[in-house]
Amino acid sequence: MGKLINIDNGGTLTDFCALDGDKIYHTKALTTPFDLSKCFFDGIKKLARDIYGDEKYVDELLQTTDYIRYSTTQGTNALVERKGPRLGLLIERGADLSKLKTPGAETSLFEDLVADRIGEIDLSLEGSEAEMDIVSAVNRIATAGASRIILSINKVDFKDIETRICRIIGRKFPSHLLGVVPVMAAGELADDPVYGRRTWSAIMNAFLHPSMERFLYSADHRLKSHKTRNPLLIFRNDGGSARVAKTMALKSYSSGPRAGMEGVRALAEHYGFKKVLSYDVGGTSTDIGMVTDGVLVSDIYGHVEGVEVSFPMADIVSAGVGGSSIIATDGHNITVGPQSVGAAPGPACFGLGGKMATITDVFLLFGVLDSTTYFGGELNLDVDRAKEAVLSNIAEPLGLSLHQALEKMFNAWVEKIAIGLKRCGDIDDETTLFGFGGAGALAATRIADATGAKRVVIPGLGAVFSAVGIGFSPLSQVYRFTLDEHSNEALGNLLLRMRQRAARDMFAEGVDIDECIIETSLLRIRRDDEQQFSIDVEGSIPCDLESEDRVVLVYEARKNIGNLQFAEVGKETSQEVKVSSVRQVTTDENNLINVPVIRLEDQQPGAMTDGPVIIEEAFFTGFVDEGWRLTVSGNRDLILKKHFEG
């Protein structure tokens, strides 16, 4: 089998992980939001250097790679920043728009994405009168500035009505003419009888589509120029991957956090942990999720920007705190985030023009970070710039000494993450924290102390763990369709149609349907009580259905394409860690202590030590506090346990 490359594009950094047989390579590149293809290929070049010894072997790397799987924050950022096309909405005359603008997130988002670009169609008209009415409505929306139009009808037979209207629009506004505004039917995107959910899914997909399409096709075409074996695969927020042409833009939203949770689920199963609460600390935010008994906690109907959509999504909470979050003061208190300095200009210590203080500056001034080894030695941190940022933004406005300011900044940063963790799930003696991301290990034991957790796992590949998680993604397609009637015959017919559609879609991925694993389940909605249960491929309708129940068939076809294999647990031999150096760390106003520094790559499975200790890997640094014991597992992960003498 050839190589596998997984890429997770974040707001600050883009992570890369390559599997070549039993060898694993990983690296990072600074995200270039002005041109995402630049950081994409910057990382590919670094992988070529690590694998072959020189960046010039990019062609050889790509031509010996079976699959490249990619996740991006492009969609998430577009919605957060409201950067996208101006949308129009086509509805039936007299439709109740309050179903789309409930107080809160929906009202604000609707005003930003659609505003007054709304056209109404009189469904009572027929023939030429109906056609004139439809043309007039489309023209009104286009004249108002819409560059994309969503058609959504709030009727029981919405799919048939929308299909008829789209045919008329297609005749009156043929796609080969310049300036024609594309029209998308909500019912074609989501087979969901709930009007608000279905319409919002179509609105947000239309908003994300253009920018996602431009970049992803551009990257795919550039890869093809290197003669790659297969098209670029896009990792989705449902845990699967597919080529660009078979991926819905909306399913790229929050795909990076989902990738990290796939890694958490796999590693938790490997170690036998039943209850895991994870936090992924990136540059801008911390994503928090939960795995219980091997199951990723998910919502049957996910939320995007606080608005419910028609597709399932992992229940991941994002807190506005990360390694590049701005730490400031309101004149009385310390504030952390949600604003971030990103990778450019970055923290003050990066020396790229940043003037604001971050937790990265704090740990540099504490002495935990080494200015010469940070980010694999590619960034030389500037202590003086970090000090100036803390003094001017925090210490002087609050009348504090430098060390007092550092302590308050550190405590505020830890507390914000701890609050997010405690809100996400109950933490007891059975709870294991998983900390990953570039800053996940930085204050792991202090975060655990703030939550009451007694065990923390820092994956050895934690700095690129979302990229690792993408590697557990199968090549797949997932379909959800509502049964028109509650009968075994209707279910059988739908199963047959789904298999035929899956066969076509998987064939486009280069996979025969007979090579695929097929999983089917039924989702029953009864008076807002949602239940999901598995059925076999032949299938039969449950006998306890009520007439008002709605039944949805969930059909998945997937093929596994290779993933990381974990080392066997329990084979480690206890031994002392290998100390590479000693670093002076500030503990109070006038006191420095010597703290041993250990490099993860120097350690053997079973290596053990007690805090305080600094653990370094090429792309992360962690500080283990006194009272905690560190053990390196056979999989080269860090297992941190609260340690009591006696």
List, as one string, the DSSP characters of 398-429.
HT--HHHHHHHHHHHHHHHHHHHHHHHS---T
pLDDT at 533 over 60: no
Give 646's pLDDT tier (boundaries 50, 70, 90): very low
Q: Determine the average pLDDT of the residues in 167-184.
A: 90
pLDDT at 311 over 60: yes
- Reading the block at residue 428, the tokens are 């007891």
Q: Determine the average pLDDT of the residues in 138-150.
A: 95
The pLDDT value recorded for residue 528 is 57
513, 506 contact by CB (below 8 A): yes
The pLDDT value recorded for residue 591 is 84
- Spatial CB neighbours of 427, under 8 Å, sequence gap ≥ 6: 277, 421, 451, 452, 453
Residue 136 neighbours by CB distance under 10 Å: 13
The pLDDT value recorded for residue 42 is 95
pLDDT at 535 over 60: no
pTM above 0.85, yes or no: yes
pLDDT digits (tens, 9 = 90+) for 504-525: 999 999 999 999 999 998 887 7
Give 180's pLDDT tier (boundaries 50, 70, 90): confident
The pLDDT value recorded for residue 285 is 86
CA distance linking residue 431 with residue 618, whole number of Å? 28
38, 385 contact by CB (below 8 A): no
CA distance linking residue 284 with residue 289, whole number of Å? 17
69, 216 contact by CB (below 8 A): no
pLDDT at 645 over 70: no
Collapse the DSSP code of 21 into the 3-class scheme (helix H, G, I; strand E, B; otherwise coil) and give the result: coil
pLDDT digits (tens, 9 = 90+) for 356-412: 999 999 999 999 999 888 887 788 899 999 999 999 999 999 999 999 999 999 999
- Tracing tokens 């059975």 back to the chain, one arrives at 430
CA distance linking residue 72 with residue 84, whole number of Å? 16
The pLDDT value recorded for residue 536 is 54
* Residue of 566, 533, 579, 558 whose CA lies nearest to 636: 566
- Reading the block at residue 473, the tokens are 């993604």
The pLDDT value recorded for residue 553 is 87
* Residue of 604, 587, 627, 230 whose CA lies nearest to 445: 627
CA distance linking residue 472 with residue 462, whole number of Å? 15
Report the run of H or E that residue 278 belongs to, with start and end.
strand 275-281
pLDDT digits (tens, 9 = 90+) for 90-99: 999 999 888 8
Q: Determine the average pLDDT of the residues in 450-474.
A: 96
48, 63 contact by CB (below 8 A): no
Give 160's pLDDT tier (boundaries 50, 70, 90): very high
605, 424 contact by CB (below 8 A): no
pLDDT at 461 over 90: yes
* Residue of 210, 617, 577 whose CA lies nearest to 441: 617
358, 325 contact by CB (below 8 A): yes
CA distance linking residue 47 with residue 58, whole number of Å? 8
List, as one string, the DSSP characters of 224-243.
HTTT-SSPPEEE-TTS-EEE
pLDDT greater at residue 336 or residue 317:
336
Q: Which amino acid is at 110?
A: F
Q: Determine the average pLDDT of the residues in 560-586.
A: 88
The pLDDT value recorded for residue 211 is 82
For helices 359-366 and 402-424, the axis angle rounded to 10 degrees is 130
Exposed e or buried b for every residue in 103-123, given b needs 16+ CB within 10 A? eeebeebbeebbeebbbbbeb
The pLDDT value recorded for residue 177 is 80
Give 491's pLDDT tier (boundaries 50, 70, 90): confident
The pLDDT value recorded for residue 65 is 96
CA-atom Rg of the chain in angstroms: 26
Q: List phi, psi (to 5°) of 457.
A: -115, 125
The pLDDT value recorded for residue 547 is 67
Average pLDDT, the chain: 91
pLDDT greater at residue 272 or residue 548:
272
pLDDT digits (tens, 9 = 90+) for 208-221: 998 888 888 888 88
CA distance linking residue 494 with residue 148, whole number of Å? 32
pLDDT at 544 over 80: no
Q: What is the DSSP-derived secondary structure letter of residue 485?
A: S
pLDDT digits (tens, 9 = 90+) for 66-111: 999 999 877 777 887 788 999 999 999 999 888 898 877 789 899 9
- Reading the block at residue 347, the tokens are 């923290």
pLDDT at 338 over 90: no
> 111: number of CA atoms within 13 Å, CB side?
6
Whether residue 174 is preceded by a cis peptide bond, meaning omega within 30 degrees of 0, is: no
> Nearest 5°: CA angle at 615, between 612 and 620?
135
The burial class, CB within 10 Å (0-12 / 13-18 / 19+), for 479 is middle
Domains and CATH numbers, the chain: 3-79+212-252 (3.30.420.40), 81-208 (3.40.50), 325-412 (no CATH), 481-550 (no CATH)
pLDDT greater at residue 60 or residue 488:
60
Give 632's pLDDT tier (boundaries 50, 70, 90): very high
CA distance linking residue 320 with residue 284, whole number of Å? 7
CA distance linking residue 324 with residue 130, whole number of Å? 56
